[in-house]
Amino acid sequence: MDNIARLDIAAIRSCLIDTQLNFKKINASLKVKRTPPSDTVIENLIAGYAKIDEYLINGIDLFAYGNSGLLLELNYIVLYQHSTTSSIEKHSQFEATQAHFYDVRDGGIGQLMDWLALNQNTNVWKRCAGIFTNILSQPQLFLEGNHRTGSLIMSYVLMREGYSPFVLSYENAKHFFEPAELTKKRRKKSLVDDFIYLPKQTRKFAKLLRSEQEKRRFLLSGACWTSKSVINVNRS
């Protein structure tokens, strides 16, 4: 699609704050309880949404050869953009994440790019959901922040194809967290998980992403960027 709406950052912030305020109710519906997002976590995530909007404005393909570092940048933003963590600790954690991201066995960015190459013609819902299950299943793509960074990457892909981003809300939280909890217990390159359990969770995420499009409340009407290319799945 040529003209795609820009992100409504104010609407995203409002939704995330509402999610935070209702997290006690969300936890009451979950089998495995989650830690409520702090103000810093929310502001970091909002900074991440602003960053993917910037990528789209500038026509940046996250999956093009040589751009894998931008995925690490998103992860760094959701962890540290507004954090009071010391610079030394941030640098140390980033170096550890970077090593894991590129070198972890049966995972890492190489495995994700291989999956994308095999699934580049899959519909956008299954592709986004598959990206997320690849990020979240073991070994996870990042050392920390996989749910948040994965949500941003899914949102980037959705917007690249003209759809609204995924934003965690009070209404969708249960349908997001429960399959996510099951996904992170599964392993890539495991015969049973690859052919039974991970595809099952991928279908759940795909259904959720598609159902969320009925709302389309996170896009600015009348403000668009121009897309000149589709996602490139060359290996980073």
Q: Is the pLDDT of residue 1 over 50?
A: no
Query: Is 180 contained in some domain?
Result: yes
Asked if residue 230 has pLDDT above 50, the reply is no
pLDDT of residue 232: 40
Does 231 have pLDDT greater than 80? no
* DSSP per-residue codes, 36-66: PPPHHHHHHHHHHHHHHHHHHHTT--TTSTT
Q: Look up tokens 């933003």; give the residue.
A: 77
Q: How far apart are the first and last CA of the chain?
A: 25
Query: Residue type at 185?
Result: K
Q: Is there a domain that residue 233 lies in?
A: no
Identify any residues that bridge with 187 across adjacent strands, giving them in sequence order: 138
Residue 10 within a domain? yes
CATH number of the domain within which 170 lies:
1.10.3290
pLDDT in tens, 40-57: 999 999 999 999 999 999
Residues 64-86: tens digit of each pLDDT: 999 999 999 999 999 999 999 99
Determine, yes or no, domain membership for 234: no
pLDDT at residue 234 in the model = 41
pLDDT of 212 higher than 90: yes
Contacts of 137 (CB under 8 A, 6+ apart): 183, 184, 186, 187, 188, 193, 198
> Taking the model in full, what pTM does it have?
0.92
Range of the domain at 132: 3-226
Residue 134 in any domain: the answer is yes
Specify if 236 maps to a domain. Answer: no
In this structure, is residue 67 part of a structural domain? yes
In a domain, 231, yes or no: no
Query: What pLDDT score does 214 carry?
Result: 83
Token couple for 191: 């015969």
Total domains, the chain: 1
